[in-house]
């Protein structure tokens, strides 16, 4: 199960109103480190199944969302639960870092 791609129009419904924690990957197709992280992000999505959501936001196509969350470098990640950012970090990180950020928020 790969991560779902979101737009400015779908972000609120899919992330802010989600019943489960959400890992948001802010990325762009021209970003080499983002492309490196893409298969890892998809692995996390597959591993967590229904316990959490994993979504991708292309900062070039969803500029309003990127600005709202103050994204200044990519890849950037945010763990959002109950509509609130619980944790943020950026850069190329190991799969364990992504899972570790989500684990405290899983039921």
pLDDT band, residue 1 (cuts 50/70/90): low
| pLDDT of the residue at 3 | 85
- What percent of the chain shows pLDDT beyond 70? 99
Q: Determine which one of 6, 15, 24, 31 is catalytic.
A: 31
| Residue 80 neighbours by CB under 8 Å, 6+ apart | 15, 16, 18, 21, 22, 24, 86
**Domain 4-105 falls in which CATH fold?**
Glutaredoxin (3.40.30)
| First-residue to last-residue Cα distance in the chain | 20
| pTM (2 d.p.) | 0.95
Mean pLDDT along residues 53-71:
96
Which of 22, 34, 62, 80 is an active site residue? 34
Q: Does pLDDT of 50 surpass 70?
A: yes
Percent of the chain with pLDDT over 90: 93
Tokens 């989600």 belong to: 18
Count other Cβ atoms within 10 Å, centred on residue 17. Answer: 11
Residue 98, burial from CB neighbour count under 10 angstroms (0-12, 13-18, 19+): buried
66 is catalytic: no
């Amino acid at each position: 199960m790969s991560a779902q791609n979101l737009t400015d129009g779908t972000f609120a419904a899919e992330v802010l109103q989600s019943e489960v924690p959400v890992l948001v990957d802010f990325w762009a197709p021209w970003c080499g480190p983002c492309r490196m992280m893409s298969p890892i992000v998809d692995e996390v999505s597959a591993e967590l199944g229904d316990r959490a959501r994993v979504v991708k936001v292309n900062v070039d196509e969803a500029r309003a969302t990127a600005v709202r969350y103050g994204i200044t470098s990519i890849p950037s990640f945010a763990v959002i639960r109950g509509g609130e950012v619980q944790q943020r970090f950026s850069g190329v990180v190991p799969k364990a870092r992504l899972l570790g950020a989500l684990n405290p928020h899983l039921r």
